[in-house]
Amino acid sequence: MAELELDSITKVFHDGDEEIVAVDDVSLTIEDGEFLVVVGPSGCGKSTTLRMVAGLESITSGAIRLGDDVINDVKSQDRDIAMVFQSYALYPHMTVQENMSFGLEESTGLSDDEIGARVEETASTMGIGDLLERRPDELSGGQQQRVALGRSIVRDPEVFLMDEPLSNLDAKLRAQMRTELQRLQEELDVTTMYVTHDQTEAMTMGDRIAILNEGELQQISSPLECYHAPANRFVADFIGEPGMNFFDVDREGDELVSELFTYPLSDWMVDDLGDTSELVFGIRPEDVSLVDVASAEHDFEAVVEVVEPMGDENTVHLHFAGHPDSSIVASVGGLQNVSQGEELAAHIPEEAIHLFDRQTGKVLHNRRLDSEEAVDATL
Amino acid sequence: MRDIFARRKSDDESTDRSDETRADGGVARAGREKPGVVGRTRRALDRRFGEDFVESAPFWFPAFLLMALFVYGAILWNLVISLTDYEGFGLAGPDYSNLDFEMYVRAFNDSNVINASINTFVLVIGFTLTTLVVGLLLALLVDRGIRFENTFRTIYLLPMSLSFVVTAQFWLWMYNYDNGVVNIVLGTIGLGPIDWLGNQSIVLWAVIFALTWQFSGYAMVVYLAGLRAIPDDNYEAAMVDGASTVKMYWRVIIPQLKGATISASVVLMVFALKAFDFLYALVSGYRPPAGTDILATLMVREAYQNTNWAYGSTIAIILFVMALLIIGPYLIYQFRRDNL
Amino acid sequence: MTKPDLKDDSNDERSKGTADGGRLPRLRKRFDYHRLGLYAVLLGIVAFYLAPIEAGLVTSLKTRTGVIETLPMSPPIYGEFSTASWIAAFDTLSRGLLNSALYAVPATVISAFIGSVAAYGLTQANWKRRYKATFLALFVAGIFIPYQAVLVPVTRFWSNYAQIEGLLTPLWLLGVDRDYTDLVELMITSIAYGIPICTILFRSYYKNMNIEMIEAARLDGASLRRIYRRIVLPLSTPMFAVVLIYQFTQIWNDLLFALVLIQSTSSDAAPAVLILSGLGVSQEGMNFSLQMAGALITALPTIAVYVMFSEEFSEGLAT
Amino acid sequence: MTRNKDSVSRRRFVQASAAAAAASVAGCNGLGLDDGGRKLNLMHAFTGGDGAIAAEALFDAFREEHSDIELDLEPIGGGGNQNLDTVVANRLSNNDPPSAFANWPGKNLVKYENALGDVDDVWADNDFGDSHVDEAVELHKQGGTYRATPMASHRLNNLFYNVEAVEEAGVDPTGIDGLDALIDALDAVATETDKTPMTQAMNGTWTVTQLWAAVMQGQEGHQAYMDFIEGNGDQNAVQSAFETMAEILENYIGDDASSVDLTASNSNIINGDAAFIHQGNWAAGAFRNADNFNYEEDWGAVAFPGTENMYCLHFNSWLFPAQNPTPELSKTWLEFVGKPKAQIAYGKNKGAIPTRTDVSMDEFGPYLQDVAEDFAEVDNRPPSLQHGLAVTSDRMSALNDAISNHFTGPYDSEAAAQGFIDAV
């Protein structure tokens, strides 16, 4: 087991005369035994990063260290890294047994008996002990997924890499495998780098998550931190479903002014903002509460457009009164009765707002976490 | 699928950046592979041509070398020989010291070459068109959900498995003046007999007919593959729109067979350029029946029978250029469609 | 080139008895007379495609007078039946059949193998597109060049620069005729000119192979060579069938290289097509019965291969 | 280029060492060691029918005399020596010449310039110069040196006929004394019988060129023909010969002529399907080998109309390649073919007369005896056009191109004549 360190790695692809920077100066460290989820929209460079770690792509600049060794120029087959692919990439002409033995045969000097024993042991841990003689095309998708995992685990590698391994499963199986993967990873305690575009997987599985966009690392921290204290507007937008509401605002003294509303700030807020006056105002839908009439200074009149009942909660799409083109989303309890066309007020608590620099996207102020109860109380 | 196309930058910017990171990563690079000559060359090659250029070389290089020597090296050598005056028995070999275009001048003034070029052109165009049309009709017939489709297809394609030499023998007999099937069949409807292989003005078409017999099955297979790639709903939509069968094929289906037509045409044209085997076997000699002399036969006759090596090479180059005129656009077409 | 998807389609949907007429069910139900006409046309075309072969077959089984006196397509049932032509043709050609097999089989196997390895290497190489395209274009063009353009250099190469007769001394010591030098030259030539098509055929197959699977094997610790040996080669079996059949037919059937490298039909090493090209045209005159028997004997191996593997054959063509 | 010399010696070294190795392994030297244990490699085109029979008789006679020499025979079929020439040309180009090959002497030697060796000693040692006909002496020399020895001679200006057919038409072949008379005779056959008046193998061009030479000689005379082959041809004469020929080919040779080859045309005479044929007298070999088809009873021969006083000359000779793989054996062979035993064995079976003047014609049968008599009596012995003696192979090829392009039907006499004049 070892620590995996990415030190300012960059990947440039060439397409004709054009250079495409797929991964741009990404540095991060995965602690020994840590489960890091790399997440980002498609095309953000997450898979390329993973493939550079695997040795399947060359590194344009920067260094990758495994333990104390730089592995930039170590061939894939010598890196002692196992990878689970989106397509599972099982060898179709081999039985499950052979699929799982292959890596051990190629990368270790173990005897056939030892290999057999290890394969059987791993297979039974994975619950595929009775499938050993079957070929991949005789297996269900979930079983193939297990075999692919088993094939990686049996090698007992330094690092696990997983490239969207669950995306080919149906929703239910995916949820089930998510938990199982977490359990396995904890048991095995192997450094793991897990790539996904699915934020649910990112939030639920990782010890930490790394968020990439356009090849650049946006933030790396625990899931909750990413959620509540995003480093920039992109992270705030990307994490969370439904996504954060954003409004362009200008700060005028101790007020935030947009064409939709004017939002007075308390003194403790003003201090955080420094000189920047062009801002983006952000508020998560669950932090918006709906009240009958605008009674406080952070209440704004709004009209309900659509209500999407989800059972435990309702997602409510509204627009500010007098601004039919505007839009704000609120998540409210499933039992709160809201109907289309209803005129009411949206309460946007000051404790819960995020403010970003409109130019750089960087966060200037994140919500206060200790005011959680206060928010709830207003409901 | 990889998600790589993240961001486009202008050249300048990215160069700056990589320099920058290189400076940053100085410590990290200390542990890398020692930059020996081999390593440097390898890295330079990989950087120039793409990743894995060197690593994959042991696999593709032997094939590439054999092909480079036997195909492209030989063509270049042939070009050089065509610039010499090499003829007769090569005890002295070609004299490479004195290269000129004399042979080309001779070729362009040689009525045999002009004649053979015209015949080649007629053969290539006539053969390709008839074969495509016949192949398309066969494909449309076979694609109509018939029973025993495999059997029909196998039979139509059967001649394709035969050697040109075998085909020539069969058609020599088919075209026989007194006893050939063709004349006997025509005789039953009161036509002929026709001297298919002896009459200069029709012999080329007789050859085209025989070659069509051999290759239309091929065109059929290519068109079938093309037809099968057309989604069923295209047929259904056309029928819902009330188009007649003929109109549906003409307006909806056939236009979608462009790709198949291009692939098949190129292959057929090149087959026609190579029809030497057939014509040789027809007479079992280097001079094909009058009226069918094509560049392929003329080249072999000049070189191997008349030992005019340089002149033969010159004709070969003319033939090669004709082939290039067909292959070149095809390759560009394939490149544009991302098939290369 | 067109993608080969003939096989799947025809097996699954059509020929396995879609009694309701496959793609155009409505048409079928509406036009049953047309259906009848369709089969009549199809059978007529069958007659056209089989006529030369049928005429050849019956002619080969007739006496020389029978050939002249009976209709060319009528079977030899009125006493003009004779197997003499087959016996004579086989006598003349048996040597050639053996020679053809001697070079066509190894040349087929070797060029297919080289093509497969090369295509594998190309698939692995993650090259810049423009180089890759150029490289592939060279291979594709290599399929299509008229061999006339290399004929003179190839003959000069073998006769003046690559004299392999000495290298084969052990063969001569075993009593093999020296004419077989030419056959070895022919074999190597056939291999070299078979490489472009073999490579491209395999490439079209490997291109559709799951790249992640290869990468998985890499990460499993296998070298490129081991990956080929243990993953790619076993998975190439269907394509090997296609390439071997196609290449074998091509090499067996080719006359041009045999003609310029072996030259004489009387050479001990003359392949079947070369002997066939001169068969029956002697001072004896055209003996069509003999020629037809010879043509059929020469064609027999390729016809047999074709009929047995017609699916693979058409797949090879359509690729 | 010196490289070729190197490669020649390299090849020969390789061969020699391989042979030496073979000999030492075999542990004996009974392999005919004169030329490093190699066989006498002979290439020829005497395949099928009378050619094969004559060749077999020839080789048997040689084996009788030289039982220690092993023969490695390479017969190469195909009309007019075409395929043989090609194979020989390639073997020579590839520095892999045969021991000797059958071919025509005369101008035909030009294309083998520098590729043929010196056999002056063969001629001198055996007094071939004295024992052979005069024409043979000059025609076998190139650059003042003998390059080949002759084996037999055919006559080219013949008109053969089927006796029954001409009788049915009421034609007396011996009375046909010119081209006009020939056309009358052909016309008589056409009107009086259902036979083809003249059978002509039109599936190749060589028979047409050959016929033209005969018509030229018969209609325009010996001198006009000689002028033509020397390059001073009179265009009118050439064209006039073509016009006459066009009249024959258009009207009297049958509809299927273009698919008829030499053997089929011979068969037409034998079967009685045709009345006349113009051919070299190898046709007589084919007639003789046919069952129940006898000279003067069933078939006859006259000189081609108008050429009664000529013997259009053809030689079957054996050429001696330079860089000879087996110089000693090859010379033994060339000596052999120039001697009576070989000339009788071959000639009587092939329908050719000896090139020696001292051979008894007893064994040759009545037809060839008549030919030999004619040979001795005629005033002129012009060299054959299509069979190598009169023009180089390049020119012959050009002549055949002209025939192929203009005179295989439709018949364009003017263009063909122009082509011929340009060719020589």
Rounded to a whole number, what is the distance in Å from the CA of D348 to chain C's nearest CA?
Answer: 17
pLDDT of res. C224: 86
- C128, C218, C220 member nearest A14 (Cβ): C128
Neighbours of D220 (CB within 10 A): 22
pLDDT digits (tens, 9 = 90+) for D263-306: 788 888 988 889 999 998 888 888 887 778 888 889 999 999 99
Q: Which amino acid is at B101?
A: F
Q: Which of C84, C76, C45 is nearest to C59 (CA)?
A: C76
Which of A199, A233, A267 is the last residue in one of the domains? A233
The least confident of C38-52, C111-125, C135-149, C299-313 is C299-313
pLDDT digits (tens, 9 = 90+) for D308-332: 899 999 998 999 998 888 888 899 9
Same domain, A227 and A308: no
Residues forming a β-bridge with A21: A12
Output DSSP code: residue D132: B
Place of tokens 């600049």: A61
Encoded tokens for A264: 């007075």
Same domain, A218 and A285: no
pLDDT of res. B65: 93
For chain A, the chains sharing at least 3 beta-carbon pairs closer than 8 angstroms are B, C
Q: Is the pLDDT of residue D379 over 60?
A: yes
In a domain, C50, yes or no: no
Do A215 and B2 lie within an 8 Å CB cutoff?
Answer: no
Q: Is the pLDDT of residue B131 over 90?
A: yes
Pairwise CA distance, residues A91 & C213, whole Å:
7
pLDDT digits (tens, 9 = 90+) for C259-283: 888 877 778 888 999 888 877 655 4
Rounded to a whole number, what is the distance in Å from the CA of B74 to chain C's nearest CA?
Answer: 5
pLDDT of res. D398: 87
The least confident of B294-298, C262-266, D2-6, D273-277 is D2-6
In a domain, B173, yes or no: yes
In a domain, C217, yes or no: yes
Do B5 and A20 lie within an 8 Å CB cutoff?
Answer: yes
Is the backbone peptide bond immediately before D173 cis, with ω within 30 degrees of 0? Answer: no
Q: What is the DSSP string of D264-286?
A: HHHHHHHTTSEEEEEE-THHHHH
In a domain, A129, yes or no: yes
Pairwise CA distance, residues B80 & B72, whole Å:
12
Which of A200, A233, A266 is the last residue in one of the domains? A233
In a domain, B29, yes or no: no
B176 contact partners, CB below 8 Å, separation of at least 6: B183, C72, C288, D259
CATH at residue A367: 2.40.50.140
Same domain, A251 and A217: no
Would you say B95 and D1 are in contact if contact means Cβ atoms under 8 Å apart? yes
pLDDT of res. B14: 37
- Confidence band, pLDDT 50/70/90 cuts, at residue C286: low
CATH at residue B217: 1.10.3720.10
pLDDT of res. B290: 80
Same domain, A51 and A165: yes
3-state secondary structure chain A: CCCEEEEEEEEEEEECCEEEEEEEEEEEEECCCCEEEEECCCCCCHHHHHHHHHCCCCCCEEEEEECCEECCCCCHHHCCEEEECCCCCCCCCCCHHHHHHHHHHHHCCCCHHHHHHHHHHHHHHCCCHHHCCCCHHHCCHHHHHHHHHHHHHCCCCCEEEEECCCCCCCHHHHHHHHHHHHHHHHHHCCEEEEEECCHHHHHHHCCEEEEEECCEEEEEECHHHHHHCCCEHHHHHHCCCCCCEEEEEEEECCEEECCCCEEECCHHHHHHHCCCCEEEEEECHHHCEEECCCCCCCEEEEEEEEEEECCCEEEEEEEECCCCCCCEEEEEECCCCCCCCCEEEEECCHHHCEEEECCCCEEEECCCHHHHHHHHHHC
Do D49 and C283 lie within an 8 Å CB cutoff?
Answer: yes
Chain B: residue nearest D110 by CA?
A: B88
In a domain, A283, yes or no: yes
Pairwise CA distance, residues A344 & C241, whole Å:
74
B332 contact partners, CB below 8 Å, separation of at least 6: none
Do B221 and C314 lie within an 8 Å CB cutoff?
Answer: yes
In a domain, B306, yes or no: no
- C263, C266, C278 member nearest D90 (Cβ): C263
In a domain, C178, yes or no: yes
pLDDT of res. A276: 82
Domain extent for B158:
120-284
Same domain, B180 and B44: no
Report the alpha-carbon angle C207-C213-C216, nearest 5: 135
Pairwise CA distance, residues B289 & B283, whole Å:
7
Do C292 and B159 lie within an 8 Å CB cutoff?
Answer: no
Same domain, A220 and A249: no
Do B7 and A10 lie within an 8 Å CB cutoff?
Answer: no
Neighbours of B199 (CB within 10 A): 18
3-class SS at D236? helix
Q: Is the pLDDT of residue B13 over 60?
A: no
Domain extent for A349:
243-378
Residues forming a β-bridge with A247: A281
Task: Say if D272 is an interface residue toward chain B (CB within 8 Å).
Answer: no
Same domain, A139 and A248: no
Rounded to a whole number, what is the distance in Å from the CA of D78 to chain C's nearest CA?
Answer: 6
Chain B: residue nearest D115 by CA?
A: B89
CATH at residue C232: 1.10.3720.10
Pairwise CA distance, residues D260 & B165, whole Å:
20
pLDDT digits (tens, 9 = 90+) for C193-212: 999 999 988 988 898 888 88
pLDDT of res. D9: 41
Q: Is the pLDDT of residue D28 over 70?
A: no
Task: Say if D145 is an interface residue toward chain B (CB within 8 Å).
Answer: no
Pairwise CA distance, residues D44 & D73, whole Å:
8
Is the backbone peptide bond immediately before D98 cis, with ω within 30 degrees of 0? Answer: no
Which of A233, A260, A291 is the last residue in one of the domains? A233
pLDDT of res. D262: 80
The answer to whether D and B touch (≥3 CB pairs < 8 Å) is: yes
Q: Which residues on chain D are in Cβ contact (under 8 Å) with C179?
A: none
In a domain, B192, yes or no: yes
Q: Would you call B263 exposed, middle or buried from its count of C-beta atoms within 10 A (0-12, 13-18, 19+)?
A: buried
Max avg pLDDT among A61-65, B23-27, D345-349: A61-65
pLDDT of res. D283: 86
In a domain, B24, yes or no: no
- D51, D52, D77 member nearest C278 (Cβ): D77
Is the backbone peptide bond immediately before D410 cis, with ω within 30 degrees of 0? Answer: yes
Which residues of chain A, if any, have pLDDT below 50? 372-379
pLDDT digits (tens, 9 = 90+) for D72-109: 888 887 655 777 888 888 788 777 889 999 998 988 88
b/e burial code for range B87-106 (CB count within 10 A of at least 16 → b) = bbbbbebbeeeeeeebbbee
pLDDT of res. B35: 54
Q: Which of C65, C154, C172, C264 to mutate to test binding with chain D, by most D CBs within 10 Å of its CB?
A: C264
Place of tokens 């961001």: B7
CATH at residue A8: 3.40.50.300
Domain count, chain C: 1
In a domain, C239, yes or no: yes
Q: What percent of chain B has pLDDT over 70?
A: 85
3-class SS at C256? helix
Q: Which amino acid is at D277?
A: I
Same domain, A66 and A37: yes
Domain extent for C190:
85-318
In a domain, C16, yes or no: no
Measuring CA to CA, how many Å separate A338 from each of A289, A302, A310, A318? 12, 12, 13, 11
Q: Is the pLDDT of residue C99 over 80?
A: yes
Do C283 and D263 lie within an 8 Å CB cutoff?
Answer: yes
Interface residue ranges in chain C relative to chain A, Cβ cutoff 8 Å: 128-130, 210, 212-213, 215-223, 226, 230-231, 234-235
Domain count, chain A: 2
Pairwise CA distance, residues A281 & A346, whole Å:
15
Rounded to a whole number, what is the distance in Å from the CA of C265 to chain B's nearest CA?
Answer: 11
Domain count, chain B: 2
For chain D, the chains sharing at least 3 beta-carbon pairs closer than 8 angstroms are B, C
Q: Which of D268, D392, D416, D318 is nearest to D119 (CA)?
A: D318
Same domain, A179 and A267: no
Same domain, B179 and B52: no
- B49, B67, B273 member nearest C128 (Cβ): B49
- Confidence band, pLDDT 50/70/90 cuts, at residue D231: confident
pLDDT of res. A297: 85
Do C220 and A106 lie within an 8 Å CB cutoff?
Answer: yes
Q: How far apart are the first and last CA of chain A?
A: 48
The answer to whether A and D touch (≥3 CB pairs < 8 Å) is: no
pLDDT digits (tens, 9 = 90+) for B188-244: 888 877 888 877 888 899 999 999 999 999 899 889 888 888 887 777 777 777 777
In a domain, C10, yes or no: no
- Confidence band, pLDDT 50/70/90 cuts, at residue B110: confident
Task: Say if C176 is an interface residue toward chain D (CB within 8 Å).
Answer: no
Residues forming a β-bridge with A61: A10
3-class SS at D385? coil
- Confidence band, pLDDT 50/70/90 cuts, at residue B2: very low
- The pair phi, psi for residue B32, each rounded to 5°, is -75, 175
- A46, A62, A70 member nearest B3 (Cβ): A46
Place of tokens 């920039």: A232
In a domain, C188, yes or no: yes
Task: Please report the domains of chain D, with CATH numbers, ordered by start residue.
Answer: 37-154+314-377 (3.40.190.10), 158-312+381-423 (3.40.190.10)
- B61, B221, B245 member nearest C318 (Cβ): B221
Chain D: residue nearest B116 by CA?
A: D405
3-state secondary structure chain B: CCCCCCCEECHHHHHHHHHHHHHHCHHHHCCCCCCCHHHHHHHHHHHHHEECHHHHHHHHHHHHHHHHHHHHHHHHHHHHHHCCCCCCCCCCCCCCCCCCCHHHHHHHCCHHHHHHHHHHHHHHHHHHHHHHHHHHHHHHHHCCCCCCHHHHHHHHHHHHHCCHHHHHHHHHHHCCCCCCHHHHHHHHCCCCCCCCCCCHHHHHHHHHHHHHHHHHHHHHHHHHHHHHCCCHHHHHHHHHCCCCHHHHHHHHHHHHHHHHHHHHHHHHHHHHHCCHHHHHHHHCCCCCCCCCCCHHHHHHHHHHHCCCHHHHHHHHHHHHHHHHHHHHHHHHHHHHCCCC
Place of tokens 């020599």: B172
pLDDT of res. D11: 44
In a domain, C93, yes or no: yes
